[in-house]
Amino acid sequence: MARYQQGDLAAANSLIQCMSPRLHRFFVVQYSSREHADDLLQEMWLRIHKARHTYRPGEPVLPWLYAIARNIRVDHYRKSSRTTDHEQPLDETPEVETAAAEEMELIPNLDVLLAPLPESQREVITMLKVEGMSLEEVARATSSSIGSVKQKAHRGYEKLRERLTMLGLGKGQVGELP
């Protein structure tokens, strides 16, 4: 990141190639939509380019990047809520259930499991378990204390355990959550 600040194009390309999959996954987990995630990732790199001068060399880059990603997510939520408030629904179409859709419901993926969690818990669990960030990095990225991050993660894990039990995927059938 420090080399990117100094105008090193190779460093910028390296940063983009290294971090894009992780940031894209962050946005997919938050929205469960690849389309939105693609748009948000593009917005992310534009903002990073504009704000690269704010990065402090020597500081961990992950919390800085995820703080920007979190702000983009909040901005997107605000913008979409303003838009949906003014939209009028069209005639509703009945949903067609297929065997494939029923089969997919039997095998929950991470997005489906995390979807009912509050946004803050989903965000913390994604950063900790999917991205492999430390408690300190997550706290810095979310502008929270380490204790707050631990509390959100703990509450999220409890809700995930309950959800897995309700789905019949309790102990012995699924790896133990922390």
Q: What's residue 115's pLDDT? A: 83
Residue 17 burial (CB count, 10 A):
9
Residue in the block written with tokens 């669990």: 125
Question: In this structure, is residue 154 part of a structural domain?
Answer: yes
Q: Tell me the mean pLDDT in the region 45-70.
A: 91
Question: In this structure, is residue 99 part of a structural domain?
Answer: no
Of 26, 48, 83, the last residue of a domain is 83
- Per the structure, the count of domains in the chain is 2
Range of the domain at 34: 1-83
- Comparing CA positions, the residue from 10, 134, 9, 113 lying closest to residue 66 is 134
Query: Do 23 and 56 reside in the same domain of the chain?
Result: yes
Question: In this structure, is residue 152 part of a structural domain?
Answer: yes
Question: In this structure, is residue 178 part of a structural domain?
Answer: no
Question: In this structure, is residue 17 part of a structural domain?
Answer: yes
Q: What is the pLDDT of residues 123-164, one digit of tens each?
A: 899 889 888 889 999 999 888 999 999 999 999 999 988 888
- Distance, first Cα to last Cα, the chain: 33
Q: What is the pLDDT of residues 66-83, one digit of tens each?
A: 999 988 888 887 777 666
Of 83, 114, 130, the last residue of a domain is 83
Question: In this structure, is residue 177 part of a structural domain?
Answer: no
